[in-house]
Structure 1
Amino acid sequence: MPLRFTKMHGLGNDYVYVSLFDQQLPGAIAPLARAMSDRHFGIGSDGLILILPSERADAQMRMFNADGSEGEMCGNGVRCVAKYVYDHGIARKDQVTIETGRGVLTLDLEIESGKARRVRVDMGTPILQSSDIPTTLPGDPPVDVPVEVGDERLKLVLPQTAVSMGNPHAVAFVDDVVGFPLEQIGPLWETDSHYPRKVNVHVAQVLRPDEVRMRTWERGSGITLACGTGACAVCVAGVLTKRTDRKILAHLPGGDLELEWPSDDASVFMTGPATEVFSGEWPA
Structure 2
Amino acid sequence: MDITFYKYQGTGNDFVVIDNRDLSFPRENTDLVHFLCDRRFGVGADGLMLLNPSDKYDFTMVYFNSDGTESTMCGNGGRCLVAFAHKLGVFEKETTFDAIDGLHYATYNDGITNLQMIDVNNVEVYENHCFLNTGSPHHVQMVNNIGAYDVKTNGEKIRYGAPYFQEGTNVNFVESLNNDKFRVRTYERGVENETLACGTGVTAVAIAMYEQKQTTNTKIPLKVEGGELEVSFEPTENGYKNVFLKGPATFVFNGNIKYHGKANR
Q: TM-score, normalised by structure 2?
A: 0.91
SS of aligned partner of 1:83: helix
Shift of 1:209: 5.2
- Separation in structure 2 between the aligned mates of residue 62 and residue 188 of structure 1, nearest angstrom: 28
Specify the alignment match of 1:211 in structure 2.
181
Query: Is 2:236 aligned against 1:267?
Result: no
Paired AA for residue 12 in structure 2 = G
User: For 1:113-132, what aligned pairs fall within 5 Å after superposition?
Assistant: 117-128=111-122
Specify the alignment match of 1:142 in structure 2.
124
Higher normalized contact order (CA 8 Å, seq sep 6+, divided by chain length): 2
After superposition, give the CA deviation of every residue in 1:150-174 in whole Å (9 maximum; x if it has no partner). xxxxxxxxx1100101110000011
Pick aligned residue for 1:249 from 221, 234, 255:
221
- Separation in structure 1 between the aligned mates of residue 171 and residue 140 of structure 2, nearest angstrom: 6
Query: What RMSD, in angstroms, separates the aligned Cα atoms of the two structures?
Result: 1.5
After superposition, give the CA deviation of every residue in 1:130-164 in whole Å (9 maximum; x if it has no partner). xxxxxxxxxxx32133xxxxxxxxxxxxx110010
After superposition, give the CA deviation of every residue in 1:244-269 in whole Å (9 maximum; x if it has no partner). 22221000000000111221342311
Paired AA for residue 49 in structure 2 = I
Instruction: Verify the 8 A CA contact 2:23 2:52 in the aligned structure 1.
Output: no
Q: Which runs of 5+ in 1 are unaligned?
A: 112-116, 129-140, 146-158
Query: Is 2:197 aligned against 1:226?
Result: yes
Task: Report percent identity of matched pairs.
Answer: 34
Query: Is 2:84 aligned against 1:84?
Result: yes
**Runs of 4+ off more than 3 Å:** 26-29
Specify the alignment match of 1:138 in structure 2.
none
Query: Is 2:111 aligned against 1:168?
Result: no
Which is further off, 159-168 or 184-193? Answer: 184-193
SS of aligned partner of 1:9: strand
Shift of 1:14: 0.3
- Separation in structure 2 between the aligned mates of residue 81 and residue 37 of structure 1, nearest angstrom: 16
- Separation in structure 2 between the aligned mates of residue 144 and residue 243 of structure 1, nearest angstrom: 15
Instruction: Verify the 8 A CA contact 1:12 1:226 in the aligned structure 2.
Output: yes
User: For 1:1-284, what aligned pairs fall within 5 Å after superposition?
Assistant: 1-22=1-22, 24-26=24-26, 28-91=28-91, 93-111=92-110, 117-128=111-122, 141-145=123-127, 159-195=128-164, 197-208=167-178, 210-221=180-191, 222-244=193-215, 245-264=217-236, 265-284=240-259
- Separation in structure 1 between the aligned mates of residue 230 and residue 69 of structure 2, nearest angstrom: 28
- Separation in structure 1 between the aligned mates of residue 222 and residue 34 of structure 2, nearest angstrom: 30
- Separation in structure 2 between the aligned mates of residue 80 and residue 27 of structure 1, nearest angstrom: 19
Aligned residues: 253
Change (3 A) 1:81 1:27: closer
After superposition, give the CA deviation of every residue in 1:220-258 in whole Å (9 maximum; x if it has no partner). 102100001100000010011111222210000000001
- Separation in structure 1 between the aligned mates of residue 43 and residue 121 of structure 2, nearest angstrom: 34
Q: TM-score, normalised by structure 1?
A: 0.85
